[in-house]
Amino acid sequence: MADDVGFCLWFTGYSGAGKSTIANVVANELRNRSHRVELLDGDEVREHLSAGLTFSKADRDINIRRIGWVAKVLARNGVATITAAISPYRESRNAVRGEISNFVEVFVDTPLDVCEERDVKGLYKKARAGEIPEFTGVSDPYEPPLAPEIHVSTNDRSVAASAAQVLSWLEEKGWVRAGPAPRDPN
């Protein structure tokens, strides 16, 4: 196993599915195992790299291309790159896949009703009230991956178990060193 294998873990799923939470646990575990890691969280990228973009399909596609370009540069330089963005359109995700060596699509599969129950940011409530146009799962579609490398169903497993599933896949590929199982964040 080469210590500098770069790859991109592309976490996708509804808002509130657990993408960022699981991605953060995976990132911390990889750092604990001495891997170079960069986490590109969708909310942070929108604030710093894609400020001014709307949630129209065209602007979402631009946002995903920007995230993809940064992920490609990092991965080709040996960084374990993790993205956590809704990325609702299959075509956009597949375009990014075509640009990045060692691209790993991680579908965080959480039913919409569960995401709405979680709704930690109150976004679904606002979307249902018509206050947020073009909201994924409410007034805009989400196209689930057809063949993700990793399919994480969060209904029946903890955050730690979800992160362990991702890490196990990477270990089996020989891209990361084995380590202890992650713990659930507090």
The catalytic site residues sit at 87
DSSP H/E element including 151? strand 150-153
For 137, list phi and psi in degrees, rounded to 5.
Answer: 90, -15
d(CA 5, CA 101): 10
d(CA 75, CA 103): 9
- Tokens standing for residue 82: 């993790």
d(CA 40, CA 23): 9
